[in-house]
Structure 1
């Protein structure tokens, strides 16, 4: 049995036109540090009495597909996660552009995300992914990453990719050392660390 290597693992995403329908093209390879995206169907232990000491067969529970994705905060790919959290930004300028993300949108875009382990091979496509929570920590040193908590509609596993040819983005990663915290354009003093969490408080429709 082949062993998957993290050096060859890939994640590709594309925004959906129709919720829950994975696009055939338009996927972009995005950097990620770890992921717990997966589908799960627990088994419920039977509560019945009178059938002896041996347990009776368990009952299948509802299927859920969700998980967290840890991603670096960078200049390009992080925009996908901001769009998933807030919706389409208001863009101005002619390069460099200014993207303004606003909270409170009624509709959020959904994504299809494929995680690939070519050695196995295993290509898991998660359709209908909607971002429930986005959080990150600010501190003096260390790696700057964010955690995106996703709720998906389902998982489809195949031995070949369904994402096609992926678009590539240049990795331009930010670090804690280059960051600052301002309020109304003025720097805040004596801020040692901070934690930011943005939640959409999604309700599942089972």
Structure 2
């Protein structure tokens, strides 16, 4: 008897032309380190009286299809998640190609994602998948991974794959060693770690249907937030927080082969932090920053991915 193992699982994704309708072709193999994407349907306990102490049978509640994916930040497949988060990019170049994503798009594409466990077999196709939140942490060492929070319309289970022929992209991973942070065009020193979170704040359209699915997930006001933990060496960031003025922060990863990922947050506002002395070691301060619309650039942030993929 075969037993499901994460080592044998596979994940494939393709963009939908029509929301909630998986395409017949165009699926790509997506690397991942973990998944909680699944459909869930709880039971409601009976509230009826008059039948003794033993309860009557429960009834089914609404179905929820959502979950998180743990994914690597790499030079090619990460572009799929960037498109899901920000919309279609503007692509220039003839190889390498430069893909510019911007915040603020009202229309976001939906994905069809199949999570397969071939040894059972169980192939779960999730249609109408929208990306609600994308987050990751910059630090000195360790594996560079991101978390993608997804909202799906529904789940369909089959014993064979419905993804057709799955294409492979090159897995060219970025690492923390390739990372850098700049403030207003100058390297920002004394940074211990940084955290970045982008949220589309999707509004689920939970109408009454006979299939238990939602009608959609509409993007509302986006949010780009994070934190920067720094060794307290000067008052530059504290003074900015006191003045209430924005700065531009750039988070970048560059590989020797020319592939790069740059997140330029155009207008970052810093709070005035608590500066604590907790012992004889170095003093650190944490700034929980927020981004806002920058009138000059017309958006909150620009994300630039440079690789050998002609289009997303």
Q: TM-score range by the shorter chain?
A: over 0.9
Match of 2:68 in 1: 68
Match of 1:107 in 2: 107
Match of 2:164 in 1: 164
Rounded to whole Å, the distance in 1 between the matches of 2:187 and 2:92 is 25
Rounded to whole Å, the distance in 1 between the matches of 2:177 and 2:169 is 23
Match of 1:49 in 2: 49
Distance 1:186 1:94, change over 3 A: farther
Rounded to whole Å, the distance in 2 between the matches of 1:203 and 1:44 is 25
Moved segments of 4+, more than 3 Å? none
Asked if 1:14 corresponds to 2:6, the answer is no
How big is the shift at 1:46?
1.9
Asked if 1:134 corresponds to 2:140, the answer is no
Q: Secondary structure at the match of 2:31?
A: coil
Unaligned 5+ runs, structure 1: none
Q: CA RMSD in A?
A: 1.0
How big is the shift at 1:49?
3.0
**1:48-97: CA deviations, max 9, x gaps?**
33332101211211111000000000000000000000000111222222
Unaligned 5+ runs, structure 2: 207-312
Rounded to whole Å, the distance in 2 between the matches of 1:60 and 1:8 is 32
Match of 2:90 in 1: 90
Query: Which deviates more from structure 2 when the two are superposed, residues 55-64 or residues 31-40?
Result: 55-64
Rounded to whole Å, the distance in 2 between the matches of 1:163 and 1:154 is 16
Structure number with higher relative contact order (C-alpha < 8 Å, ≥ 6 residues apart): 1
Rounded to whole Å, the distance in 2 between the matches of 1:183 and 1:7 is 41
Match of 2:209 in 1: none
Give the structure-1-normalised TM-score.
Answer: 0.97
Query: Which deviates more from structure 2 when the two are superposed, residues 50-59 or residues 75-84?
Result: 50-59
**1:89-127: CA deviations, max 9, x gaps?**
111222222211111111110000001111111111000
Rounded to whole Å, the distance in 2 between the matches of 1:124 and 1:67 is 13
Rounded to whole Å, the distance in 2 between the matches of 1:50 and 1:5 is 47
Q: Secondary structure at the match of 2:102?
A: coil
Q: Secondary structure at the match of 2:204?
A: coil
Q: Secondary structure at the match of 1:112?
A: strand
Give the structure-2-normalised TM-score.
Answer: 0.65
Rounded to whole Å, the distance in 2 between the matches of 1:108 and 1:66 is 17
Structure number having the greater strand percentage: 2
When Rg is computed on C-alpha atoms for both structures, the one with the higher figure is 2
